[in-house]
Amino acid sequence: MSDEVLTARSQCLSCYLVKIMSVVRTIPMSRREALRGILWVLLAALVGWLVPMATRFGSERFYTAASSAAILGRMREEMFREGDNLFLVGALNAIPFAVAIALVEGTRALARRLRPAMEWLRWGELVLLGGITAATSLAVWNNLYGTGKVSSTAVIAFVVVPVYATGAAIAAFLLAIGVVAARSLRGPLRPDNNEMQLTRSAHGQTERGPRS
């Protein structure tokens, strides 16, 4: 693919993005928030789908003498081929990403007071899941292309790991919600210094009694 074709496609993509943003600005705020949450879920799923592909490409590029074009061509052939089906591997890996961000965005839409915390939690979930899935993908692909001591059935890990990753994402979400709730409840239950001083002075006057 020539540089001119890539440049033309990138320009077309930027034009489409500009048109999409102009349309989004005309949408009412409530619908815009819902659309924003859906877009974040789709973006997270795309990230999860790309992690096995990127680690597969990097491992084969590092351990073999094949060129980048040859690796990409081989991956395109294996995308839907029986026995490989890289598309299914990426789809399974995208599930925990979509579930985690759907929880975050749903909570963000329902509880306005938690929105600042949800912004941080969204990125935290992406980092957590990205680390888990990237480490698993690298372990599988490195053993296949590096040591060669495992069979191709090692890719069964891509079926098991999303289950554990989904559990880890939900656990992290519940833990973060618990921490936020505890911090929000801690303030009203603990009087500030002024209230404590007023309470102590009132108790002192009660013990001394009225002056004659």
Residue 57 lies in a domain: yes
Region 53-79: what's the mean pLDDT?
86
Burial of 139: CB neighbours in 10 Å, binned 0-12, 13-18, 19+: middle
According to the model, what pLDDT value does residue 192 have? Answer: 47
Mean pLDDT of 140-157: 68
Residue 62, pLDDT score: 85
pTM, entire model: 0.67
Within a domain: residue 211? no
pLDDT recorded at residue 153: 62
Examine the pLDDT at 1 and tell me if it is beyond 80: no
For position 155, what pLDDT does the model report?
Answer: 67
- In the structure, what pLDDT confidence band is assigned to residue 98 with cuts at 50, 70 and 90? very high
Does residue 202 fall inside a structural domain?
no
Q: How sure is the predictor about 122, in pLDDT bands with cuts at 50, 70 and 90? A: confident
Average model confidence (pLDDT) across the chain: 75
Residue 66 covered by a domain: yes
pLDDT value for 52: 87
Range of the domain at 32: 27-187
Q: Which residue has the higher pLDDT, 190 or 79?
A: 79
Do the domain assignments include residue 31? Answer: yes
Confidence check: pLDDT of 181 > 50: yes
Residue 52 lies in a domain: yes
Number of structural domains the chain divides into: 1
Overall residue count recorded for the chain in this entry: 212
The verdict on residue 45 lying in a domain is yes
Q: Which residue did the predictor score with more confidence, 91 or 22?
A: 91
Residue range 72-100: mean pLDDT, rounded: 87
- Check pLDDT > 80 for residue 204: no
* Assigned domain for 134 exists: yes
